[in-house]
Chains A and B, each alone.
Chain A
Amino acid sequence: MAEIELKNIAHSYNPQAADMNYALDPFNMTWVDGGRYAILGPSGCGKTTMLNIMSGIVQPSEGKLLFDGVDVTTLSTSERNIAQVFQFPVIYGTMTVKQNLAFPLVCRNYEKSVIDAKVQEVAEALSLQGLLKKSASRLTADQKQLISLGRGLVRDDVAAVLMDEPLTVIDPDLKFRLRRQLKEINQKYRSTLIYVTHDQNEAMTFAENIIVMDAGKIVQVGSPAELFDRPKTTFVGYFIGAPAMNFFDCQASGGYMLSIGSAEIMTGTDLSKVGSAPLKLGIRSEYIRIVEAKGANTFTAHVQRVEDMGNYKLVTAVFEGHVTKVKVERDIAVPVDRVELQLPAENCCVYAADILVS
């Protein structure tokens, strides 16, 4: 495995055009050896372009790609020593599972004893031992996807395993098992895994670090907890979490205070430098509390509806035109008309021009 460095990488699918549109805006990034990353973003945000630049399928318009300090920007896919798992399982249907796993080593003229040992090891790691003699075309979609992954793991020289929405065709119950297996493999082989997805649940449960992208730009890189608690932009706040973060239009009213309509809210952010610029206060529905009496950092909202979501209740309330979503435990009684909502200062994020004020 290797450390992967992207230096001023940018890509345009039409670089000759007068008004060049970047599919991927210039950026720098380092993928630490053995790390587990997810690239998350809506369709068309440039995440697959980024993955394809690393695998060599796409040549970047600008910048350099370094594997352990070696410039591989112009090298072909086969020369880069990467493994890639695609959205739909790619297997060699005329081969057995064993032949599939051995194929990358056979192509590189490894000795038979080395191939057998390596195939056995990877088959055990992926729980495919019992299927080695079976025709690969007769396996289920998740088993086929494991073979795609296994072909990457049999090689010792793989710099990183790149996965492009690999669980799309997998049943939900098997997705959970596969994600767990991927984590175990990462821990066992210390392989750098880079996982592209538009599903935040997949990204949050799989990765140590998540790269959130929007319209060709990297908007935030961080751990799942960082993305959840302190989204750097309102986009990340909307995109991560279900339901999305609550946002209130507001104005600074001195020090750490801001006003949302008639309510005065204390935040954990020093707002003395933002002046009178329009602000947004963001807070997760998980952190808003329903309290019995009016007090500090509270406002009275009209309850619109209460939905039973199985393991929690989702309360939708309106305060002076601001729709607010609140997650509460199932056994908490929610008033039917008016409710006092409290916004804890430590969970309030303040945004100026959609960027987090720090």
Chain B
Amino acid sequence: MNFRHKYMFLLPGLLVLLGILIFPIGFTVRLSLSSWDSFYPGLDFIGIENYIRLFTDDLRFWEAFGRLSMLSLTTVFLQYVIGFSLALMVWKDIVFQRFFRVLFLIPMMTTPVIMTVIWRTFFHESLGPVNDFFNLFGMNPLWLSSEILAKFTVILVEVWQWTPFMFLLLLAGLLSLPKEPYLAASIDGAGPIRTFVYVTFPLMAPISIGAIIIRLIEASKIMDTVYVLTSGGPGTSTETSSFYIFIKGLREFQFGYSAALSLTYLIIMIISFTIIAKILVKLMVRGN
């Protein structure tokens, strides 16, 4: 075969890759070096001014980033713990095992935006059924307009919505585990706790790391829940990076600046996930 023919076969895939991945990234890089906004549209060149502004004069972005880190780490941690517990529960032969397996998956089958609207109605401070209940005890918690409780509500909705995904991955992992390590642990005299700590947890580590990383990537994109539930409020107390970039780009139409925000966010995320994955491998696989 002629050497050039190889490239002919590669070309269709390469063109698709170029069109959907490389061009948008390249264009975003170029856009971030411009001052394109609603007043002065066009790809002018202003060097790294947008980046200087981001690093010297935009505390709100970094606060949003800190909030995002807290929200995503907390929600994914809770999803992992609850998802793993539920998966362990229906992994063993229990009564109504199939029923519970389906039941735990229901939140994942619903449309996130619609469910968030329903949750917003539940937590409505004067009309919602949650406060109807709390009113019986003379309490009226501000689920959506208190800085702390609004964060709690966002976490609650995210955990409810996405724990089933974690549950599904971990249950699939548990069902694929070999029997021999459990027989060996039983022969060695290990009880249920030792068996979990020394057999189940280490065997599940690769699957756990995969599930955690997938969910962290998804959680870091959190947008619809915040948008529908609190719109980033009260004030900016539930505003996350993606929501802030959305405001800058699609509400204030600062395309150039939001491109710089997006790229910075992307690079930080790549570095963060690389470090997190390494830490998880060290903690969970090697047991250090």
Contact = CB atoms under 8 A, between A and B. Distances in A.
**Pair from one complex:** yes
A151 B199 CA distance: 15
A315 to B, nearest CB: 45
Chain B, interface size: which category?
10 to 19
Contacts of B286: 94, 135, 137
Interface residues of A, number: 25
Given A103-B188, A107-B189, A108-B189, A94 B183 contact: no
Contacts of A87: 180
A57 B178 CA distance: 14
B287 A88 contact: no
A90 B184 contact: yes
Contact of B191 (A77, A103, A107, A148): A107
Given A92-B199, A95-B198, A57 B188 contact: no
- Summarize B's interface: helix, strand, loop or mixed: helix
B190 A57 contact: no
B92 to A, nearest CB: 16
Given A92-B202, A107-B194, A83 B187 contact: yes
Contact of B184 (A76, A94, A135, A148): A148
A90 B199 CA distance: 10
23 contacts: A55-B187, A77-B183, A77-B187, A78-B189, A83-B187, A84-B184, A86-B180, A86-B183, A90-B181, A90-B184, A92-B199, A92-B202, A94-B198, A94-B286, A95-B198, A104-B187, A104-B188, A104-B189, A107-B189, A107-B191, A107-B194, A135-B286, A152-B187
B186 interface: yes
Nearest to B194: A107
Contacts of A93: 202, 287
Interface of A: 55, 57, 76-78, 82-84, 86-88, 90, 92-95, 103-104, 107-108, 135, 137, 148, 151-152
A157 to B, nearest CB: 10
Contacts, number: 55
A78 B287 contact: no
Contact of B187 (A82, A92, A95): A82
B45 to A, nearest CB: 54
Contact of B202 (A86, A88, A94, A107): A94
The 7 closest A-B pairs by CB, nearest first: A94-B287, A107-B189, A90-B184, A104-B188, A86-B180, A92-B198, A77-B186
Interface of B: 178, 180-181, 183-184, 186-191, 194, 198-199, 202, 286-287
B171 to A, nearest CB: 22
A76 B287 contact: no
Nearest to B181: A90
Contacts of A76: 186
Contacts of B189: 78, 104, 107-108
A84 B188 CA distance: 9
Given A93-B287, A95-B198, A103 B183 contact: no
Given A92-B202, A151-B188, 7 more contacts: A55-B183, A78-B187, A84-B187, A94-B198, A104-B188, A108-B189, A152-B187
Contacts of B191: 107
